[in-house]
Structure 1
Amino acid sequence: MTTLKLTVAAIDDTIAGIRTLTLTHVDEAPLPSFTPGSHLVVECGARNGPANAYSLTGDGIAPAAYVISVLRAGTSGEAPSGSRWIHDELAVGDTVLARPPRSAFAPILRARRHLLVAAGIGITPMVSHLRSARLWGRDARLLYIHRPGRGAYVDTVRSLTDHASIHTLREEFVAELSTALADQPLGTHLYVCGPASFIDFVAATATELGWPASRIHFEHFGAGALDPGEPFTVRVPSTADEFTVEAGVSLLEALESRGFAIPNLCRRGVCGECRVPVSGGAITHRDLYLSDDEKRAGNSMMACVSRAASQSLELKL
């Protein structure tokens, strides 16, 4: 798998609890371009340490640098160890390893309008959406709520669009959100990013107002704390392996302990790297990567977070 070696060219700690990194190629080589809404998966700490995904906020066309903003752990679903390392140990001149940009949150090009709704650090993917919308003349509108003194990219957003509404009071935000969701032209697509509870609230409000699921798009920080689940049996016919995945142990961990080399990065159900094919049994999908249609198909699962809904699973490895 391709790995980029990047240098920390600059650090901005202007906003309390949010550290913004500017990353350049260690050899000053060109960086891969990316679509709006893309994220960078950064290996935090030593090699093979935790890998966290962070939204890219810069210009995606022939970028000279990648810019990401990291919220200190404690108010998001992000893995704490990665956040602490970036906030407390990383310095200008240090190098980091990252996977090339990837996106599951790109703008729908056929959309008549793009309605962007963000909370807190969820503003980060919206910045790249706004940059692209301005470049290509697309109609994009933003609603953003943040805590007082914790508004990231506020000046940048205002420089990119005249259609940004920024709030610090929940009541005012909710009132404008309801109005906006009820009064959009046919063909508008909705994009939501923020804490899981915020995404659920916005999605529920949109659904109640008649928005079809096909026009609602999410960018999650990661799967939150999950219950340990029930034990289940796994069979791998190709190797004749059969074993039990205990409660509190992920399928990925169980497979790795038995010598199976399963590609993985985030280990939080976001990146899609640990997808394994399933040839038998029912699945409890707990990831944030597979589409609803892929989950209904029942022929693959994310080994890091998903579990069996039946007593056993058969994997085609």
Structure 2
Amino acid sequence: MTLMSDSPATNVPSDAGLVLAVDEVTALTPTVRHMRLVASDGALLPSFTPGSHIVVTCGTGPEGQSRRNSYSLTGPGFEPDHYGISVRLEEDGRGGSRWIHSLRAGDRVQVSTPRSAFAPVLTARHHLLVAGGIGVTPILSHVRAAVQWGRSFEVHYVHREGDAAHLDDLEQLCGDRLHLHTGRDGFWEHMGPALLDQPIGTHLYACGPAALIDELTDRAGRAGWPGARVHYEHFGVGDLDPGEPFTAHLTRSGVDVDVASGVSLLEALGSRGIAVPSLCRQGVCGECRLPVVSGDIEHRDLYLGAAEKEAGDCLMPCVSRANGPRLELDL
């Protein structure tokens, strides 16, 4: 296992983020482990809003480059003494979850400061929270804040039988406001009426697999929910087809960058010394967005909307590729 720097963590953010120590590892289910991360000097960590995540540097990939994954924070957000993340082991994934599952108490990890694009709307009259599988992690953060501030909420949690991470936490926090589902049919049978029977001013929040998010948002739209009251956070895009090789031409510098099959455009640019800001590297956060001058794009991200993809003037280089031999970028 590759460990990070031994330098102590601090509660003052830096460009490099934070270096935290693994304080405790807990098996929540046969496939999910919870990591409690603390500052080595015992300092309080930066506060965060509910629904926030951190980006963890999970060792290095096959090409020797840092592998970074985003994980939602599950604990209290105000002046926390730790960051909690819960990670499902993905046997066929890129290796980040395996690296996380290999950690032990005392190991050091490098993380970003918290970031959120999935915060609760404070003016909402009611919060309808939906979690699918490990998507329960940001929902748990929302629940903690709702209980703390006395907000109206309910939770619908669909999971596999015997594989419900944080079920004890939710049962303790929610009481009869928690609705559990272990089958798809039963979940949708319950959610249909739930989408229709909500007070005006309710906001819907969902996190889980793309199929669940897509169907839930479609049903909400057909039930009359305004788009501004529907909020969701996808999982990453997972492993992708390696794609065909192509050339990225940088119009401002005149440089051609060859992108091999199985190598992302983001990685190819980095190998030529062209730094592009990035966080999740899974097509979710939108941090690495680049302008496109010309060329067909194979969009693979979960960040851009349909209209933005149709416009063809930008892409997420962490996952998306050229749909052809050449792509011109405004770089």
Calculate the TM-score normalised by the size of structure 2: 0.85
| Number of residues of Structure 1 aligned to a counterpart in Structure 2 | 313
SS in 2 for 1:44: strand
1:159 aligns with 2:159: no
Distance between the aligned counterparts of 2:286 and 2:308, measured in 1? Answer: 12
The residue number in structure 2 matching 1:20 is: 34
1:46-65 deviations in whole A, cap 9, x for unaligned?
Answer: 59531111110101011011
One of 122, 127, 131 as aligned partner of 1:109: 122
User: Is residue 50–residue 266 contact of structure 1 (8 Å, CA) maintained in 2?
Assistant: no
Alignment of structure 1 residues 265-280 onto 2, 5 Å: 265-280=279-294
The residue number in structure 2 matching 1:69 is: 86
1:302 aligns with 2:319: no
The residue number in structure 2 matching 1:134 is: 147
The residue number in structure 2 matching 1:259 is: 273
1:202 aligns with 2:216: yes
User: Is residue 282–residue 298 contact of structure 1 (8 Å, CA) maintained in 2?
Assistant: yes
Displacement after TM superposition at 1:176 (Å): 0.8
141-150 or 218-227, which moves further after superposition? 218-227
The residue number in structure 2 matching 1:81 is: 95
The residue number in structure 2 matching 1:49 is: 66
User: Is residue 94–residue 239 contact of structure 2 (8 Å, CA) maintained in 1?
Assistant: no
SS in 2 for 1:101: coil
Distance between the aligned counterparts of 2:30 and 2:242, measured in 1? Answer: 34
The residue number in structure 2 matching 1:178 is: 192
1:164-202 deviations in whole A, cap 9, x for unaligned?
Answer: 111223332221111111222232221111122222222
Q: Which runs of 5+ in 1 are unaligned?
A: none
User: Is residue 248–residue 257 contact of structure 2 (8 Å, CA) maintained in 1?
Assistant: yes
Q: Which runs of 5+ in 2 are unaligned?
A: 1-14
SS in 1 for 2:112: strand
User: Is residue 2–residue 100 contact of structure 1 (8 Å, CA) maintained in 2?
Assistant: no
SS in 1 for 2:192: helix
Calculate the TM-score normalised by the size of structure 1: 0.88
Distance between the aligned counterparts of 2:114 and 2:307, measured in 1? Answer: 25
Displacement after TM superposition at 1:105 (Å): 1.0
User: Is residue 28–residue 165 contact of structure 2 (8 Å, CA) maintained in 1?
Assistant: no
- C-alpha change, 1:298 and 1:215, in structure 2 (3 Å) is farther
1:79-135 deviations in whole A, cap 9, x for unaligned?
Answer: 441111222x21011111101111111112232221111111111100110111122
Distance between the aligned counterparts of 2:306 and 2:142, measured in 1? Answer: 24
What percent identity do the matched residue pairs reach?
52
Structure 1 letter corresponding to 2:116? S
1:188 aligns with 2:205: no
127-136 or 206-215, which moves further after superposition? 206-215
The residue number in structure 2 matching 1:217 is: 231
1:226-276 deviations in whole A, cap 9, x for unaligned?
Answer: 344555543212211134545544221332333322233432112333222
The residue number in structure 2 matching 1:316 is: 330
Displacement after TM superposition at 1:25 (Å): 0.9
Distance between the aligned counterparts of 1:133 and 1:234, measured in 2? Answer: 47
The residue number in structure 2 matching 1:147 is: 160
137-146 or 274-283, which moves further after superposition? 274-283
- C-alpha change, 1:214 and 1:66, in structure 2 (3 Å) is same
41-50 or 164-173, which moves further after superposition? 41-50
Structure 2 letter corresponding to 1:25? A
